[in-house]
């Protein structure tokens, strides 16, 4: 019996094969997951209905099972039809989740097109597609090292 908050068999399988620097994308419901998958990555769809499941819920589960050394968000647009004038609400929720997990990870935004490039690399191992409806809720995590 597993003793942490992550019990999804496919996600555990992929994470079990992944190593240091592997990348895990938690994708919101708007992210083009099938067309931006890295060449070695697998996709797990958790998008049951709008808002079920959210990126923050996935982050909470992942943090119980594996160490991460980096957390990149997709920088939001400041002009145009999808523009935001301040950090997306999802980012505040991520900060709360990280704090509750006693993680010292800080969110590091990268530009939208750089984000897509970072996902399309050979070290991208997993995309978890959610049904999160928030804009710019995508989160790219880099696997760290088990220290104990």
Please tell me the predicted confidence (pLDDT) of residue 4: 85
pLDDT greater than 70 at residue 93: yes
Q: Which residues pair with 129 in a beta bridge?
A: 27, 45
DSSP for 46-93, written as a single string: ---BTTBS-HHHHHHHHHTT--EEEEEEEPPPSSSTT--SS--HHHHH
**What's domain 20-143's superfamily in CATH?**
RbsD-like domain (3.40.1650.10)
When pLDDT is averaged across residues 112-124 and rounded to a whole number, the result is 96
pLDDT one-digit tens code per residue, 124-146: 999 999 999 999 999 999 999 98
Please tell me the predicted confidence (pLDDT) of residue 90: 97
Q: How far apart are CA 143 and CA 140, in angstroms?
A: 10
Structural domain boundaries in the chain: 20-143
pLDDT one-digit tens code per residue, 19-73: 999 999 999 999 999 899 999 999 999 999 999 999 999 999 999 999 999 999 9
pLDDT band for position 3 (50/70/90)? confident
Phi, psi dihedral angles at 13 (to 5 degrees):
-60, -50
């Amino acid at each position: 019996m597993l003793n942490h908050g992550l019990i999804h068999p496919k996600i555990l399988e992929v994470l079990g094969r992944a190593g240091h620097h592997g990348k895990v994308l938690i994708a919101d419901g708007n992210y083009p997951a099938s067309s931006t998958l890295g060449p070695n990555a697998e996709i797990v769809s958790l998008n049951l209905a709008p808002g079920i499941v959210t990126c923050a819920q996935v982050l909470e589960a992942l943090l119980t099972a594996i160490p991460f050394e980096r957390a990149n968000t997709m920088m939001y647009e400041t002009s145009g039809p999808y523009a935001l004038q301040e950090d997306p609400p999802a980012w505040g929720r991520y900060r709360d989740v990280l704090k509750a997990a006693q993680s010292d990870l800080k969110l590091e935004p990268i530009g939208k097109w750089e984000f897509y490039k970072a996902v399309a690399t050979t070290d991208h191992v997993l995309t978890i597609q959610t049904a999160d409806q928030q804009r710019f809720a995508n989160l790219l995590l880099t696997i760290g090292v088990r220290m104990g």
